């Protein structure tokens, strides 16, 4: 696998994992009034107290930060898998 393909695949995997972690509640225990979603950075918030018209809020910086974090992890895993599949040259 060449580096461009590995990079694009890792970004795609990073985006998918970020969207999947948007379903995981990560609200701190003492926080009242909102439910946080996303891991490791909370990027989606649902307001419970006084939600007004739209109770959902999104933090774009945390969202892109999550994509970067998960893309780096995916790139490392893809690199390890790629190196493990190739036989050692003598």
- Is residue 23 situated within a structural domain? yes
Report the number of distinct structural domains present in the chain. Answer: 1
- Is residue 33 situated within a structural domain? yes
- Is residue 65 situated within a structural domain? yes
35-55 pLDDT tens trace: 999 999 999 999 888 767 788
Identify which of 66, 1, 8, 57 has the alpha carbon closest to the alpha carbon of residue 39. Answer: 66
Residue 2 has pLDDT above 70, yes or no: yes
**Range of the structural domain that residue 14 is part of:** 3-84
Identify which of 62, 38, 57 has the alpha carbon closest to the alpha carbon of residue 46. Answer: 57
- Is residue 90 situated within a structural domain? no
- Is residue 89 situated within a structural domain? no
- Is residue 68 situated within a structural domain? yes
Residue 15 has pLDDT above 80, yes or no: yes
User: Residue 70: left (phi > 0), alpha (psi -120 to 50), or beta?
Assistant: alpha
Residue 17 has pLDDT above 90, yes or no: yes
- Is residue 62 situated within a structural domain? yes
């Amino acid at each position: 696998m060449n580096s461009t393909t590995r990079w694009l695949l890792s970004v795609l995997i990073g985006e998918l994992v970020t969207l999947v972690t948007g379903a995981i509640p990560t609200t701190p225990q003492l926080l009242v009034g909102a439910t946080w979603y996303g891991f490791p950075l909370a990027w989606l918030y649902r307001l419970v107290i006084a939600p007004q018209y739209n109770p959902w809020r999104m933090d774009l910086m945390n969202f892109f930060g999550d994509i970067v974090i998960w893309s780096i992890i995916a790139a490392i895993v893809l690199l390890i898998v790629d190196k493990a599949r190739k036989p050692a040259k003598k």
